[in-house]
Chain A
Amino acid sequence: MAELVLEHIYKQFDKNVTAVSDFHLHIKDEEFIVFVGPSGCGKSTTLRMIAGLEEITSGNIYINGKRVNDVAPKDRDIAMVFQNYALYPHMTVYGNMAFGLKNRKFPKAEIHERVIKAAKILGLEELLDRKPKALSGGQRQRVALGRAIVRDAQVFLMDEPLSNLDAKLRVQMRAEIAMLHQRLKTTTIYVTHDQTEAMTMATRLVVMKDGFIQQIGSPKEVYEHPENIFVGGFIGSPAMNFFEGTVGEGTFTIGETILSIPDSQMEMLRSLGYIGKEAVIGIRPEHIEEAVSGNGSGTKSSVTVLVEVSELTGAETMVYSSLEGQKFVARLSAETLIRHGERVELAFSMEKAHFFDKETEMRIRHVQEAV
């Protein structure tokens, strides 16, 4: 079992392309860490640096207290699952799983025992004699996982392992990987650009953008307290709605529309000197609901808008509209009768709204809250 420390890691390609900047993270034993972010945010590069497939420009990586910057990938005691599986096409499933053990000169009997055990865990017993070509996508992915688990490595690194699977299989494999982690408890670092995968699997998320860590926290923390506009918009589906406006005494003015700000939020905005200043509020689609008479007061602010699109997804209805020229989406119950082209009154749960600085795009909050 392993603890990882990534100490101020930088990665530069050429002279002026910085892929990863000041990546600083302490990963505890048995954690399931997910690096999430859009393409090109540096998440895969960071994973590859941990694997030793990419050199570190500056900073240090420690695995169980041992600095591994200059240790070859094979000696880092890590196992990796690749996006395209990277199975050896000329070897059988058994051969694929045994290859790493053979290279490490394990006795034959032990190799056999470990491969069979891993095959049992992953339901691959019937397929051991097959070549990867004769396997389905999901089976290939299981072999790739099997190749990692036979090694009994200290750390599992997974680079977008589910991105080549179809939607249904992806959900199934997601659960299987999560169960595998619960069973083996191996420290795992998982890279994905899919925020649903990130939210459902991680014990902690590392949200990245342009090579910088945007936020580290449990999925719940990140979802409920996004550190900045990017994180708020990236985590959650559909994305958080943002409205630019001006903070007043108890009000947030978006063009002609005035929303009321609850006291608890107001106190913070007042003390940080935001009154009269421009700001951005973020409100999740599920925090906008159909207004019924009586809930327009208090912490809810209702607005009348024209419904542009109404999508029934089955369990719920997404209603797309815009407020003062700023588009937003509301997640309503499936039973709603709202149809496109109608003018409706929607209520914003302002106590759930997030306030962001317009300039820095950072969450507005008291300094002590940050600690």
Chain B
Amino acid sequence: MVLKEQDVIEVKASPKPSKNKRNMKKHLLHLFLLPALFFYVGFQVYPILAAFVNSFYSFKGMVRQDFIGLENFIRLFTEEPFNNIFKNAFWHNIIYFIGTVLTKLVLAFALALLISSRIKGREFFKAVFFMPKLLSVIVVGFLFSLILNPTNGALNSFLKMVGLAEWAHPWLGDPKTALYTIILVNSWYGIGFAILIFLAGLQAIPEEIYEAAKIDGASGFKMLFRITIPMAMPAIMIMTILTFIGSFETFELVFAMQGSSGGPYYSTDVLALFFYRLAFGSVDGGEAIGLGSALAVILFLIICTATAISLFFFKRKEIEQ
């Protein structure tokens, strides 16, 4: 190509923007982050910091009074009825976590294995299992309250219809079954997401590895426990951590199905419900913002510690791999 004089002039006419101008442009771009930053600080960072600060103060109604050090924490752990309610709710959170791992994660892994084994209609099943997640938790809670209604709910009516009347049960009304029923509802709700994560994990395992294992004489059982599960460990770990966080944060579903006191007789009470009652008023406290903040801080620390520990082991394992 022959370069004409015109071209040269044109090139000269558009000099590189000066350093100052470029810097200004960069700073201008930062401005676009401001709205997000505003909401993040306002609704995430500030409440956490505020809760930390408030947990060291006494309150009268919504008004902060005196700095009382660790008094709120001490009261939570030693004073009746707070200490008993805390223990009860904490224990329920643990059961909630274990129950969800056993039902949701184990089942989701099995289903993901099945779906990844090239069965017909895999896309259909993926969609079906994921669908509940599209609903609001409140809607799910309300729907299941209707389905599980002891007198005219769909489940008991169905059991009676097929001649299993003796299996009919006030699932949410019996303190023995209420918590487990909620765990199952939660698993139904969240299984699709777990399946998707596991599927992604399973699909990341190269086919050649299975072929090598086949030639190495691994049985189906060995293949699962020595190849598939160890190699899907990143996905399993992530889902376990998410389930742990979810279990200790759980609020909406229990609230929608059993109300703020985790009935019947506190049999489904969890820490988040206890916090809600403490901070925003109900039978056991009422506007005890200081106590509520202390509980919120404890919850925050439980989740942080557990997540940090698991991430630490997870990272170490990853590096080893």
- Expressed in whole angstroms, the minimum distance between the Cβ of A211 and any Cβ of chain B is 21
The bracket for how many chain A residues form the interface is 20 to 34
Interfacial residues of chain A within 247-293, with CB under 8 A of chain B in the complex = none
In the complex, the answer to whether A99 meets B218 with C-beta atoms within 8 Å is yes
Bound: A83/B206 CA distance, A: 12
In the complex, the answer to whether B214 meets A90 with C-beta atoms within 8 Å is no
In the complex, the answer to whether A89 meets B321 with C-beta atoms within 8 Å is yes
In the complex, the answer to whether B211 meets A86 with C-beta atoms within 8 Å is yes
Q: Which 5 A-B pairs have the closest CB atoms?
A: A100-B216, A74-B217, A86-B208, A103-B217, A86-B212
Across the interface, name the chain A residue whose C-beta is closest to B205: A89
Check: B320 CB closer than 8 A to any chain A CB.
yes
17 contacts between A and B (CB under 8 A): A51-B211, A51-B215, A52-B215, A53-B214, A53-B215, A73-B211, A74-B214, A74-B218, A82-B212, A83-B208, A87-B212, A89-B231, A89-B321, A90-B230, A99-B226, A100-B217, A103-B218
Check: B304 CB closer than 8 A to any chain A CB.
no
Residues from chain A with a CB closer than 8 A to the CB of B245 are none
Interfacial residues of chain A within 69-107, with CB under 8 A of chain B in the complex = 72-74, 78-80, 82-84, 86-90, 99-100, 103-104
Bound: A103/B215 CA distance, A: 10
Residues from chain B with a CB closer than 8 A to the CB of A24 are none
Bound: A324/B41 CA distance, A: 78
Bound: A80/B211 CA distance, A: 9
Residues from chain B with a CB closer than 8 A to the CB of A99 are 213, 216, 218, 226
Residues from chain A with a CB closer than 8 A to the CB of B217 are 74, 100, 103-104
Interfacial residues of chain A within 24-82, with CB under 8 A of chain B in the complex = 51-53, 72-74, 78-80, 82
Residues from chain A with a CB closer than 8 A to the CB of B213 are 88, 99
Bound: A53/B219 CA distance, A: 15
Bound: A35/B6 CA distance, A: 61
- Expressed in whole angstroms, the minimum distance between the Cβ of A359 and any Cβ of chain B is 42
Bound: A151/B215 CA distance, A: 11
Residues from chain B with a CB closer than 8 A to the CB of A80 are 211-212, 215
Query: Using a Cβ–Cβ cut-off of 8 Å, how many residues does chain B contribute to the interface with A?
Result: 20
Bound: A89/B212 CA distance, A: 12
Bound: A52/B216 CA distance, A: 12
Check: B227 CB closer than 8 A to any chain A CB.
yes
Check: B233 CB closer than 8 A to any chain A CB.
yes
Interfacial residues of chain A within 104-157, with CB under 8 A of chain B in the complex = 104, 131, 133, 147, 151
In the complex, the answer to whether B321 meets A53 with C-beta atoms within 8 Å is no
Bound: A167/B230 CA distance, A: 34
Known: A90-B321, A99-B226, A103-B219. A73 touches B208 (CB 8 A): no
Bound: A89/B214 CA distance, A: 16
In the complex, the answer to whether A84 meets B206 with C-beta atoms within 8 Å is yes
Check: B122 CB closer than 8 A to any chain A CB.
no
Give which listed residue, B215, B222, B233, B321, contacts A78 with CB less than 8 A: B215
- Expressed in whole angstroms, the minimum distance between the Cβ of A120 and any Cβ of chain B is 21
In the complex, the answer to whether B218 meets A90 with C-beta atoms within 8 Å is no
Residues from chain B with a CB closer than 8 A to the CB of A74 are 214-218
Other than the given A53-B211, A104-B217, 6 more pairs (CB < 8 A) read A51-B211, A51-B215, A79-B215, A82-B211, A100-B216, A133-B321
